[in-house]
Every structure is written in C-alpha cells, then in structure tokens.
Structure 1
C-alpha cells in the first residue's frame, strides 16, 4: 500500500492535519508500519501538487489542514475497488541464507533451518499474544496481526518443507552444487571446438 493511497483514504472521512494523519495511520495498522512525519508532509505536498488535496489554515495558525479535492475523492473511491497489484518479489533473507548455507562446505544446514524456524515461531507466538491481548476492540490491529501471523505460518511451512527435502537428500550441500548452478553449461561439442 502506498502512503499516498493511505492518506487519501484517511482524508476521505474529513479534513486533517499531518500529525492527525500519522496517528490515525499508525492506529489503523497497529503501529506495525511506523510513519515518519516528514514522509507524511512530503506526500501531502505531492498530493496538493497533483490536485488531489487542498490546504487550509486550521484553528491554530501553526496547523495546516488538508482536505480532498473532487479528484482526491474520486481517487480514494477508485482505490477501494481496485485490486492491489502484486509487487515484484522481494528479497527473502532467510531463503538466501539457507541457499548460501547449502553452497558453503562445513555449514550445518539443518541447524541453520532450525534456528530460522525457532525465530519465526517466536515471532508468530508474540504476534498471537499481542493479537489476543488487544481483544476485539481494535479490529484494525487484529486484521493486521492476522495477516502477519498467516505469513509467519507460511514461512514455517516453507522451512519445514526445506528441512524435509534436506533430510531426504533432495538438496545438494556442497560448494560444487552452487558452482555448477552458476556456471554456463558447455556441451561436449563446444568443449572440443574450444581446443
């Protein structure tokens, strides 16, 4: 989710100033994605430049309130009915670590997997406790926590799958496996031609 869309969505319920927008964003996401106030104001400046928000002085001369223009209201309404595009695959540090462990001689890959699994399980338990501790009063936080818990469960499943493949011998665990995967394949005819 872009900060731009989040701010448009929050402004669709009424005028706000920057600090209110930041506080409401963090409350709605359970504080999982802290938002820098500078990022809020930079985004608001861009939204104003693009004709999606307008700026007015608030009751206090130091506060500037932002309101949606008609284009901003249209943009916020369209966002609710547009599916989120899948982003480019991100770097998965655990997958990279395990892949490197497979290619470095002497590394106990099964132990690396178990260390990662224990960390993910602990994170999932912390999230579950926090989610249940919040009660049903904060459905926005519960929704965010559930998404994070389900992702952690998927990571545990992947780690278990990887450990099973390792135990069955389906994964090669030496540097030559990594080297053969990285070097271009050369056919015997190419090899003869090169002599």
Structure 2
C-alpha cells in the first residue's frame, strides 16, 4: 500500500497536519488499514525532502500544516493514472506456514487449516456485518468504505475456498500414503 501517494492524494483538497491525514485516510478507507501517526509524519518528512509537499506554518493549535506542491500534484496524478504493479506474488504467511507444515515432521497441517478457517469465517462475518451496516451511496465515503469491504469479503471468501482445497488435498494425500 502506498502511504506516500495516499497522503499526497489527501493533500490535494487542502493543507492538513499529520493527525488529520491519518484520520482522513482511515475514514475514507473504512478504517480497514489503520495508520500509525508516526508513520504519517515520517512519510511527510520524506515527501518534504523529495519536494512533493511543503510546510505551511502552524494552525491555531500549533500543528504543522502540510500542503502539496506542483511536483506532488504531478506525482499523485501519475499514481492515479497508472495500474498497480503485480511483479511478484505477495508473501502469504498462511501459505508459507502450510507448505512448511506439510514438508517437515511435527506440525499438524489439518489443525492449522481448521484454526485458520475459524478465524477467516469470523472475519467474513464481521466484514459482512459491517457491509450491511454501511449505507449505500449516501456519500462518496460510504461508497469507498463499501468497495473496501467488498474487497475484504472477496479475499476472505477466496481464502476459505483455498483452505477447503488444502483440506481436500490433505485427504487425497492421506489416501495415497495409507
């Protein structure tokens, strides 16, 4: 996820300070990916170093305000108009765990699958409830939250289907070696 570009996109509206950017990011993404405020300020420092944002002084509360520069606008426009690269499959801790559980003595791959399925089903229920609770098309922020929840639901459903396949392969493997 590009925090750098997300912050630039949020600064296109108006100048903001770090905590405001964190709050806006979480509001607009349905709080699906919480940001550490320290990460926000570190990223703002790098953006300033790179000439993509500048400090605008302080607001009445003493917060350092940041605004986007013309170079920052060009950068974020390029981000919005380009596709997200998928050069390598992302690392998936669950896939790594299962692959290792199958290839070394000791771990019970079936138990790992069952435990993960329970976690994934709970997550799916939470995402689905949150999706039902979100009012459709009332505000762009609601639609944005729904899009993110839809993505999380689809990803979780895919993980559950994959776990079902893993379990079927374990049964098949047990039949071959038994």
TM bin, normalised by shorter chain, reads 0.7 to 0.9
Counting only pairs closer than 5 Å after superposition, residues 149-160 of structure 1 correspond to structure 2 as: 149-160=153-164
The residue that corresponds to 1:20 in the other structure is: 20
**Pair 1:50 & 2:54 matched:** no
* 1:106 positional shift: 6.4
Residue among 158, 167, 172 paired with 1:168: 172
Q: What is the CA deviation profile of residues 84-119 of structure 1, one whole-angstrom value per residue up to 9, with x for unaligned ones?
A: 112643432222332233235565533432222222
Distance 2:91 2:151 in 1: 19
Which residue does 1:142 correspond to in 2? 146
Q: Secondary structure at the match of 2:86?
A: coil
Q: Which residue of 1 aligns with 2:130?
A: 130
Q: C-alpha distance in 1, partners of 2:128/2:104?
A: 36
RMSD: 2.5
Instruction: Give the alignment of 1:1-195 within 5 angstroms.
Output: 1-60=1-60, 62-86=62-86, 88-105=88-105, 108-136=108-136, 137=138, 138-169=142-173
C-alpha distance in structure 1 between counterparts of 2:106 and 2:54, whole Å: 62
**Contact 2:127–2:153 (CA<8 Å) still a contact in 1?**
yes
Contiguous gaps of at least 5 residues in structure 2: none
Contact 1:102-1:172 at 8 Å conserved across structures: no
In the alignment, structure 1 segments of 5+ residues that lack a partner are 174-195
- Give how far 1:83 is off: 0.7
Structure with the greater alpha carbon radius of gyration = 1
TM-score (normalizing by structure 1): 0.78
- Between 77-86 and 132-141, the greater mean CA deviation after superposition: 132-141
1:40: Cα distance to partner? 1.3
Q: Structure 2: how far apart are the matches of 1:166 and 1:42?
A: 46
Q: What is the aligned length?
A: 174
